[in-house]
Structure 1
């Protein structure tokens, strides 16, 4: 009886009749079996097999037109036949003749109101006609009748997900796998929804169940690798990607993701090969090409740089990877808009409905939350540690939310904990849980310190952590999404008119937008130039002979990341080495391939590769101390020195930059204005080369610049941390005031 009822619910009426007949053979007096069989016989009135079988055979053979012709004839002869109408509906649905398929399924349901599969097919037909609410109602009706019907739960989940209702969809996928633990795609889709909301461990569990059931499920392995990578379990992620590719060698997304994991291991050539393989398989995957170009920039392989023009449309790639290739704020704005549409999703309307409104704090303080993965010994913290130290805690409740790896023994982290009201680890929380935490903490302002940089979780700001949200210090450009209200800048880094290429409202601080710490320790370097592989300075009266004398031992330096170095800068640098006898270029050691490529590029320009000297990484204070051995810092163009420029100026080393167009290409100009050396920011490449050559030939002028730096450092705005903090606090107070007054965010300036 149980099997018969189940078969009937699934629409398997022939099997149900056979089971009821078998039951009656054994128990002839079973009135319930007799009634059920009679109902099936009366309701279905199916044609005899010799008439129905040709329709079934045609359907199974894919001869849908023929099946429909058989069905039309049989429906006239057997108008109460469930089998005919249901099969007719299935054939019409497969052909895409949706209104007729709907009519056939409705006739089938009239013939057998308990046919769960037919309700399911009707709902599919309604959904394909974009009648979403009717489809949902139909799925829910069949679930109400047959709560253990897994397919209905699964299809309802798909519908809810497509309709932008992921929370409800997740409930239905979970119900599906509870009813049928072997439902592979339900496990997979449940994993996808868990991944989207940041429930990484739960997502991995779902993916593992999917691949256990279906070991060749390439996409499940790929997506599992993505979650493992976000948890910094790189080796496990690589294993997952290898399994994805064993199942499907042409899974380009898995190839790209494997490349990303290889980047984290430092295997850059292997990563580049992976990205280029994905692009070769699918030339439409321009994000794979951009990944390849960005990592080629890291190893200073410029051979394919002209391919950047082909990457238009690669929306899913974080715009940070585009900065080194084009100095164009409009271009970067468009890239951010495209990326944000993928990363964030929700638009202004949904954000407005979901805006938190915390009550004023009991002590009157403005509650500020800073969010980052870099609250440790990191470049951003070298700059910002002074801000946290100087914050006026009587007026501001300052909270840090860290989603980077736990580093409890990190000295910077330990110091930060003492300087703020709260330090909370959120790396294990989903985006929704972070939102709930931030709202429980009643934040007035949430500050994103990462933006589109590696390790970011800026998408959590799409959940609206606070009524005011600010982008500051992390990414030198727009986020391109309405969930970020303000971007902190200054009038030099972002001149008037630059607002056009930002989705945020611009807050311009007097002096410089960049935070700095006026207590950064400089560890005096006891080593000589020779210890670093640099030529010794020429001493004595001959150094004072005329501006045309070529100085021996002159050290040009650039400690920027290698991805910022392009052929335009390098051409100039090599011409300078050629014209300044005995000079060298001191660079930061990044990776072995960059060193080899830069030496090769030098040789191609007629310069002895030995004149490129690479410095190993040392602790930050020691790095500041060794900068005394350099004579002039040469900046890169499309992406300037940011922290590295502040390092140089703090250490007393003059910086020469070219003032570009996009924000990332104007940061060093802002720093130079704020330290009182605006003349060191020039307008074009010719002026840059001429200035560098003149300074290399004029030690007296260079000495004057060094003296001016020493003189200006205590008084110029760049390194007055307390003054900077008060300006930023006034900016936060104005943002908060506008919000409290019911005013929309708008541009403003802070003196």
Structure 2
């Protein structure tokens, strides 16, 4: 036995000596198969393996040179050198891995995949190679293969932090939140100073709508990298969403200091400063954003909208030159921002279409409508962020109270603030369910609402501030209707219907709507005939700085609705009526200063402008008793504000414009039975105002008619409005059950 072993080892040694490594390897493998514990055979085999490895290995100096190319950003040079080296040393896994990394950095993911697979075939235990393969596969859209590669990396090297990090990123992109956070936990346990892991994890918590966790991660990130511009910017943006203006302002200031060339940082600073009441700083920040990119229509429009809120009209005329379409989604003008600058029923839906197409994509699986329920009640869901002391709820609280609960199951889905709100508490007894989806991300909110098997979902937000359009884009009900919150079309197929009336959407205007039009009798707008008005007996005109004997012309619209056209006309009225004053809202000191300056420029004593502070709603309604005539704005009329005035006993003079937002006043005034207060031109508007100003008896008679009409005409007949809108819901529901597509219809009066 010993002789045959010695003979075999001698044979292997001779083969090795003459350079026949394959024969030497064959003989030694046979020996070790019979004598696996033989020390001489094992030493000879290890020596042979070492010589083979040395023969296969690329020179260290050459590898170092190519790594230096890579580190310097010369990925093409590194790839070219690695290709040459791989041809010379095809069994050196390091060369193939370097080639794969260089190709990946140079955006040639397909070629990188081949190189990295070659590296893995030679060195399957190298976790980094599997991890990089996962990155390359993910770049080509092969997520399942990428996940398998990351998991192979972790199996080969459980302590490879980047493998856990890469897996977390992939899982997060697929919204597999629990698994993603577990992977981030492991990555950060292995590499607690991994800045990008903290940043990505913070962003993922934000996507999952876990704001406290997101803030903790942003703060951990900033402890490691205090000048991380994107982290500061995103944290500032989150704090804006959370309505924490002081903290948001501090974060956004730091973001602009860290990255003074970042346009989005300046936009966020503008928004944070506006929230904090520092409108001058907001204006400067937005101006800086527009200077960074003068062609960014989104930034320019936001600056102009802020300036409109400040009654600063110096740049207002530039809006007309802003394009509707932009190459990048984040440069498109939000439709609501455009409303006060143009009264154009064709351009508004065009803007809405561009905004919808660039901003929202359907991500949920198709909705499968539930079968009709045995109780036959129509299940409706009102969806909004405004279930608190907000204009929308002031209007619709009565409708919720008056709904016929024997025919309708009424649910509300909230994604806004308002915990502890008195207005919210008042509506809860009139709902079958109040469901808060504020903490859910869009996908989870869609799934939650779908679970309730609604027949009809009503969008009360449209494109107003804080809206979550993706809920309707993904469809939460078989019939979706837009109503009350946004005065215009969404420009998409997210909504089947929009509720209007014959004034806001006159016959022939349907062409400007992507939705099918439902017209209610009277006005589209709901009102609550039990809205409380505070006792005004203890107040006088002097309480509000108004002259006792003056003609008080008022407009309590926010200043963004007031432009030079309105103000020119109003100041002409002040010239023509010496005892008249103009009573306006004071939401900020800049608007007051600018409007006084504009008055002086028109040779009107600025003291004839009297400004009203923001007060609780019931007190606001009560102070209307001291006004004589409400003057409406043009491109965007008073909406709730006009109903407030009419409910408070003040006639509203309005101009019937062209777009929905410019015809709301006409709808309300007509529904209260005062159609003579609807002007068809600015000249007629001015003539009516002058006639009433010069005939105080006629104005008093008009006020008396308003008082008589208030509780008998359709506008404030809450029960009648409830029956009309229920008829609209029933018709839309019946069409769906019949298999008919959405179609326009009018509800009979």
**TM-score scaled by length of structure 2:** 0.85
Corresponding residue for 1:405?
417
Is 1:576 aligned to 2:587, yes or no? no
Counterparts in 2 of 1:49 and 1:418: CA distance versus 1, 3 Å:
closer
Query: CA contact under 8 A between 1:92 and 1:100: conserved in structure 2?
Result: yes
> Are positions 1:346 and 2:361 aligned together?
yes
Instruction: Report what 1:629 is aligned to.
Output: 626
Residues 179-198 of structure 1 aligned to structure 2 (within 5 Å): 179-181=187-189, 182=191, 183-198=194-209
1:81 aligns with 2:89: no
Name the counterpart of 2:462.
451
Matching residue within 304, 327, 333 for 2:343: 327
Native 8 Å contact 1:290 1:321 kept in 2: yes
Query: Do structure 1's residue 363 and structure 2's residue 381 form an aligned pair?
Result: no
SS at match of 1:328: coil
Total equivalences in the alignment: 701
Structure 1 residue 30: Cα displacement: 13
Aligned CA distance change for structure 1 residues 51 and 245 (closer, same or farther; 3 Å): closer
Which moves more between the two structures, 43-52 or 387-396? 43-52
Aligned to 1:372: 384
**Which residue pairs with 1:178 in the alignment?**
186
Alignment of 1:28-43 (within 5 A): 42=52
Runs of at least 5 residues in structure 2 that lack an aligned partner in the other structure: 1-37
Map of 2:401 onto structure 1: 389
Q: Secondary structure at the match of 1:517?
A: coil
Corresponding position of 1:544: none
Contact between 2:66 and 2:82, CA under 8 Å: does it hold in 1? yes
Change (3 A) 1:57 1:591: closer
Contact 1:177 1:186 in 2 (8 A): no
Match of 2:8 in 1: none
The one of 476, 490, 500 equivalent to 2:501 is: 490
**Structure 2 CA distance, aligned partners of 1:240 and 1:307?**
31
Q: Distance in 1 between matches of 2:322 and 2:350?
A: 13
| Residue 241 of structure 1, aligned match among 218, 230, 252 | 252
Contact 2:399 2:527 in 1 (8 A): yes
Q: Which residue is 2:220 aligned to?
A: 209
Give per-residue Cα distances to partners, 1:293-341, cap 9 Å, x unaligned. Answer: 2121111111111232455446566422221111112322233334334
C-alpha displacement at 1:355, in angstroms? 1.1
Superposition deviation, residue 64 in structure 1: 5.6
The answer as to whether partners of 2:164 and 2:187 remain within 8 angstroms in 1 is no
Supply the distance in 2 between the matched residues of 1:648 and 1:116 (Cα, whole angstroms): 71
Q: Which residue of 2 aligns with 1:736?
A: 733
Matches within 5 A, 1:522-533: 522-523=533-534, 525-526=536-537, 527-533=539-545
Report deviation, 1:224. 2.0
Secondary structure of 1:488 counterpart: strand
Larger Rg over CA atoms: 2
Q: Is residue 167–residue 183 contact of structure 2 (8 Å, CA) maintained in 1? A: no
**Residues 1:495 and 1:180: Cα distance change in structure 2 (over 3 Å):** same
Q: 1:661 aligns with which of 634, 650, 658?
A: 658
Query: 5+ residue gaps in structure 1?
Result: 1-27, 538-552
| Structure 2: distance between partners of 1:169 and 1:402 | 23
Decide whether aligned partners of structure 1 residues 414 and 155 sit closer, same or farther in structure 2, where only a CA change above 3 A counts. Answer: closer
Task: Check if 1:688 corresponds to 2:692.
Answer: no
Question: Deviation at 1:275?
Answer: 1.6
Tell me the SS of whatever aligns to 2:346.
Answer: helix
SS in 1 for 2:502: coil
Residue 392 of structure 1: how far off its partner (Å): 0.8
> Residues of 2 paired with 1:247 and 1:694: CA distance?
60
CA contact (8 A) 1:508 1:749 kept: yes
Any idea what SS the aligned residue of 1:324 has? helix
1:188-224 CA distance string (max 9 Å, x none): 2233233234232333233333333333322122212
Q: Find out whether 1:291 has 2:306 as its counterpart.
A: no
Q: Deviation string for 1:46-90 (max 9, x for gaps)?
A: 134456555455555556666556545444433322233333444
Tell whether the 8 Å contact from 2:296 to 2:331 is kept in structure 1 after alignment: no
* Preserved CA contact (<8 Å) 1:329 1:501: yes
Q: Which of 671, 679, 694 pairs up with 1:674?
A: 671
Q: Residue 167 of structure 1 aligns to a residue in which SS? A: coil
